[in-house]
Amino acid sequence: MLIGLVLLATGLVTDTLGVIGLGVLSLVVAWSSSLWSRRGLDGVHYERHLARDRAVWGDSIDLCVSVENRKLLPLAWLSADDHVTAETVVRGTDLVPTDRPGLAVLRNTWSLAPYQQVIRRFSVDATRRGRHVFGDVRLSVADLFGRGVATREETMPETLLVRPRTVVVRHAGTSLMPLGHRAATRALVEDPALFAGIRPYHPGDPRRRIHQRASARLSRPVSKRFEPSTAQTAMIALDIQTQDGPFWLLHYEEDLVEGLIVAAGSLARQLLEQGTACGLAINAWNYTLAWEVILAPASGQAHMARILDLLARASDTPSRPFDSLLAKLPARLPRGAYLFTLGARDPVDIVPPARRLRASGFEVRHIAFGPDASRHAARARRLGLDAVAGRLDPDWRTSDALALVA
């Protein structure tokens, strides 16, 4: 601005048209730059929307980006930098590296006329399991000469959770449940949620089981009678650690971790479809302060969704030793529940806690996974643990079934 005034004054004093024109041009440029710096982002409305917040590995999710210039002043150059998780794959464009750890930038630029709106559509490919965060967006405008003159940051949190794929479970010469402990037609344990009437009072019946109103009406004590429960209870305990040694080294094999996740999700789906109440335990971080993931057994499709969400959020590295996780499970399970341990390491470390679990009334079966699954399953059986080998052939990305081989 000052240079323009000096040039204009010099041109007027010397009566030089060229200097006067240069001064006027400098003043116009300075004024327009000041106008864009003060008003450029006024009336700029930006939106970003994911079609859904859940996806399964291999899906494609629509991403819509909309920008609108709600004022008379045109915008020669507008940029929007969306900060997203670096592993996110947006089809047809490359994310720009940024100085924020774990994040990259999805960059869009426009030239907008007054009151113009532009909508762009992208496809996000769910090629990596996990939690993909779409965070802050930085809006920037520039003047006619491409100089950045104004910026603004907006908080627009969105999360896309990519769940693992699941496959059918095939039993090659073995049953999913431990041999000798398959489901009975009717269980001997009564379900207190299934009231079936009354019966005569038996010495030793707990006080809360006595039907107070019926006893008063009949002038003799009677107890509540319940239907027997036919549901089984199972827990899948997943060892996310893929390499031997201390868990805090945080070494892992990505493909092996993903295979374990797919195997765990497939087992859970199989158990739930056959009517078993299924839970999940993992020695992994899950975007919380908890040292592990423990989901109590339940049944139904909604519970399967919860299991898949936990598997999607599970870290690639262990949060604690697997035997420490096993030690916490007896307090979370009813006596007689089935426990499936799933891991890719030598099973020698889980044999002692598995024996203690069996002594406490639980049924334990180990499913060995990975390139050494057959050898690890054979060693577990030699150590007295019921074990099978689990395989996803040719790999977890393309396999159509989890094969369990004795």
Please report the sign of the dihedral spanned by the C-alpha atoms of residue 247, residue 250, residue 253, residue 258.
positive
C-alpha torsion angle, residues 262, 268, 273, 276 (rounded to 10) = 170
- Going from the C-alpha of 391 to that of each of 167, 314, 367, 400, the distances in angstroms are 11, 21, 10, 11
Residue 186 three-state SS: coil
The structure's pTM equals 0.78
Cβ-Cβ contacts under 8 Å for 380 (sequence gap 6 or more): 347, 351, 366, 368, 386, 387
Q: How many residues does the chain have?
A: 406
- In this structure, the answer to whether residues 138 and 257 fall within a common structural domain is no
Q: Give a yes or no: residue 138 inside a domain.
A: yes
Question: What's the CA gap between 387 and 374, in Å, rounded?
Answer: 10
User: E strands of 181-241, at which residues?
Assistant: 190-200, 222-228, 233-238
For 250, the token pair is 């945080």
Do 141 and 35 form a contact (C-beta atoms < 8 A)? no
Q: Give a yes or no: residue 84 inside a domain.
A: yes
Question: What's the CA gap between 167 and 313, in Å, rounded?
Answer: 19
Amino acid code (one letter) for 108: N
Give me the DSSP letters along 32-61: HHHHHHHHTTTTEEEEEEES-SEEETT-EE
Residue 102 three-state SS: coil
Question: What's the CA gap between 283 and 298, in Å, rounded?
Answer: 20
pLDDT of residue 17: 54
Strands 387-391 and 44-50: unpaired
- In this structure, the answer to whether residues 275 and 199 fall within a common structural domain is no
Write out the H or E segment, with its range, that includes residue 296: strand 293-298
pLDDT of residue 57: 96
Range of the domain at 212: 191-228
Which pLDDT tens digits describe the chain residue by residue (406 residues)?
Answer: 545 444 445 644 555 655 455 544 554 555 455 555 666 788 899 999 999 999 999 999 999 999 999 988 888 889 999 999 999 999 989 999 998 889 999 999 999 999 999 999 999 999 999 999 999 999 988 766 555 678 899 999 999 999 999 999 998 665 566 533 444 444 444 555 556 678 888 777 777 788 888 888 888 898 887 655 445 899 999 999 998 888 888 888 999 999 999 999 999 999 999 888 999 999 999 988 888 999 999 988 899 999 999 999 999 999 999 999 999 998 888 888 899 999 999 999 899 999 899 888 889 999 999 999 999 999 999 999 999 999 999 999 999 999 998 8
Q: Give a yes or no: residue 80 inside a domain.
A: yes
- In this structure, the answer to whether residues 173 and 314 fall within a common structural domain is yes
- In this structure, the answer to whether residues 126 and 244 fall within a common structural domain is no
Question: What's the CA gap between 332 and 300, in Å, rounded?
Answer: 19
Cβ-Cβ contacts under 8 Å for 218 (sequence gap 6 or more): none
Question: What's the CA gap between 67 and 83, in Å, rounded?
Answer: 17
309 alpha-carbon distance from chain centroid? 5
- In this structure, the answer to whether residues 118 and 16 fall within a common structural domain is no
Q: Give a yes or no: residue 150 inside a domain.
A: yes
pLDDT of residue 32: 56
User: How many distinct structural domains can be found in the chain?
Assistant: 4
- In this structure, the answer to whether residues 241 and 362 fall within a common structural domain is yes
Q: Give a yes or no: residue 39 inside a domain.
A: no
Q: Give a yes or no: residue 37 inside a domain.
A: no
- In this structure, the answer to whether residues 268 and 373 fall within a common structural domain is yes
- In this structure, the answer to whether residues 21 and 125 fall within a common structural domain is no
Nearest CA among 73, 42, 72, 49 for reference residue 139: 42
Do 369 and 342 form a contact (C-beta atoms < 8 A)? yes
- In this structure, the answer to whether residues 208 and 313 fall within a common structural domain is no
Do 276 and 178 form a contact (C-beta atoms < 8 A)? no
105: CATH? 2.60.40.10
Q: Give a yes or no: residue 347 inside a domain.
A: yes
